[in-house]
Amino acid sequence: MEKTWRWFGKKDPVTLDMLRQIGVEGIVTSLHDVPNGEIWTAEAIREIKDYIELFGLRWSVVESLPVSEAIKYGGSDRERLLENYKISIANLGKAGVKTVCYNFMPVIDWIRTDLHKPNGDGTYSLFFDPVKFACFDCCILARKGAEKDYPEKIMKQVYDMDRSITEAQKDELIDTIIVKTQGFVSGNIREGEKNPVNLFKQLLALYDGIDKEQLRANMKYFLEQVVPVAEKCGVNLCVHPDDPPFPVLGLPRIVTSEEDIEWFLNAVDNPHNGLTFCAGSLSSGLHNDVITLAQRFAKRTHFVHLRSTEVDADGYVLEASHLEGRGKVIELVRIFERENPHIPMRIDHGRLMLDDVNKTYNPGYSFLGRMYAFAQVMGVMAAVSSGQ
């Protein structure tokens, strides 16, 4: 697989010069300054591509070309936004950027409740705590009927938490769940937003009455529109699985399981309609076995995210060290190197370690933590390719 790295543009404290030194071959990035829904012009694409190439690297993957909410819920602006999306894909294809990752998660992208969960060895991991999340939903958003979505065991702890949580802790939870993890991945809420909870509630309201079937219909419509353009321009589209892979906040999520993956691949059965195999997201659902999924979908995978998780029966999800846990990274490398050896892969997230704690990075995207995992995976790849 091609060794790639997610880079957040010229403002990223991790520079392309640093990446060149550690064996990165390709860059995964987005036009982070272009507002969601607007056309990615040939000039803007060319500018960033040329910059990457100055360092002897290539722009391998777009992560992400964001899908606007109105496309996902089927709003009145959908046709215009779809046209813009198609033009952006065509411009990328013409520029030679041929792998485009996106997601189809309503309102909120990946979800974490803790950005600094201490590990026993002094490092920190990202974490999903179902009690904190339910508390955010039931007590902070106060979503109508939310209590019914959680098991009694969790709700008992939520009521306790509601009695003891301070205003500062509430603010931190809000900031973690809907601000810090969202803005930098082209999400809906950016740092500095004055009233993130209000804005978030307005976004949730857009999905009133949209169930799983309707969201599937909207995704199929999206795929029917954009896949032919991708095919014509030689672009491989690859949807990122929902993280975590289950419905949240009363919103449907439709890229969560083997059945879902099969569904969207068949919805428009074309090789340009593919999957981003995110081992972390998929493994965080106990219903998923990543080995089975990789064996089944490797040929329709265009991009791989290597990461692992530890999950318990109550739904606590810890981002594990990359070679341990349910992500089964070693076996995945074996499968993808055999079945689809030319696709790009990147290390997804890293623990916060050593000097990382003194720097300001986007959550999950510290330098040393990711470099450590990158070196581990390069070792695995070398062993696999030498037949070990």
- Catalytically annotated residues: 240, 278, 305, 348-349, 365
Residue with tokens 């419905």: 247
Q: Which of 110, 222, 264, 303 binds ligand DNO (CB under 6 A)?
A: 110
Stretch of residues binding ligand DNO (CB under 6 A), selected from 33-41, 102-110, 208-216, 366-374: 102-110
SS3 61: strand
Binding of ligand DNO by 253 (CB under 6 A) = no
Name which of 129 and 348 has its Cβ closer to ligand DNO.
348
Sheet holding 114-118, edge to edge: 114-118, 124-128, 317-320, 308-311
Binding of ligand DNO by 109 (CB under 6 A) = yes
| Strands 301-306 and 99-103, sheet pairing | unpaired
Torsion of CA 343, 349, 354, 356, to 10 degrees: 110
Residue with tokens 């009695």: 163
For the bound state, the minimum distance from the C-beta of residue 123 to ligand DNO, rounded and expressed in Å, comes to 18
Write out the binding residues for ligand DNO, residues 327-356 only, by CB under 6 A: 348
C-alpha span between 258 and 261 (Å, rounded):
5
Stretch of residues binding ligand DNO (CB under 6 A), selected from 101-109, 150-158, 296-304, 312-320: 101-109
For the bound state, the minimum distance from the C-beta of residue 64 to ligand DNO, rounded and expressed in Å, comes to 3
Binding of ligand DNO by 240 (CB under 6 A) = yes
Torsion of CA 101, 106, 110, 112, to 10 degrees: 180
Name which of 69 and 348 has its Cβ closer to ligand DNO.
348
Q: Which of 7, 59, 102, 136 binds ligand DNO (CB under 6 A)?
A: 102
Binding of ligand DNO by 364 (CB under 6 A) = yes
Name which of 29 and 91 has its Cβ closer to ligand DNO.
29
Q: Which of 16, 19, 27, 101 binds ligand DNO (CB under 6 A)?
A: 101
For the bound state, the minimum distance from the C-beta of residue 51 to ligand DNO, rounded and expressed in Å, comes to 21
Two structure tokens written together for 40:
């990615």
C-alpha span between 279 and 310 (Å, rounded):
12
For the bound state, the minimum distance from the C-beta of residue 109 to ligand DNO, rounded and expressed in Å, comes to 4
For the bound state, the minimum distance from the C-beta of residue 168 to ligand DNO, rounded and expressed in Å, comes to 26
Name residues whose C-beta falls within 8 Å of residue 388's C-beta, 6 or more positions apart in sequence: none
Name which of 123 and 182 has its Cβ closer to ligand DNO.
182
The burial class, CB within 10 Å (0-12 / 13-18 / 19+), for 312 is exposed
Stretch of residues binding ligand DNO (CB under 6 A), selected from 98-106, 142-150, 154-162, 316-324: 98-106
Name which of 146 and 349 has its Cβ closer to ligand DNO.
349
Stretch of residues binding ligand DNO (CB under 6 A), selected from 43-51, 96-104, 142-150, 260-268: 96-104
DSSP H helices in 147-257: 152-164, 167-174, 196-205, 212-233
The torsion angles phi and psi of 318, rounded to 5 degrees, stand at: -105, 135
- E strand or H helix that includes residue 24: none
SS3 161: helix
Binding of ligand DNO by 103 (CB under 6 A) = yes
Two structure tokens written together for 206:
């857009």
Size, binding site for ligand DNO by CB under 6 A: 11
Q: Please say whether the beta carbons of 285 and 245 come within 8 A.
A: yes
Binding of ligand DNO by 63 (CB under 6 A) = yes
| Strands 301-306 and 308-311, sheet pairing | unpaired
Two structure tokens written together for 217:
């219909």
Name residues whose C-beta falls within 8 Å of residue 143's C-beta, 6 or more positions apart in sequence: 137, 204, 249, 250
Contact characters 166-205, ligand DNO, x per CB under 6 A: -------------------x--------------------
For the bound state, the minimum distance from the C-beta of residue 65 to ligand DNO, rounded and expressed in Å, comes to 8
**Which residues lie near ligand DNO (CB under 6 A)?**
63-64, 101-103, 109-110, 185, 240, 348, 364
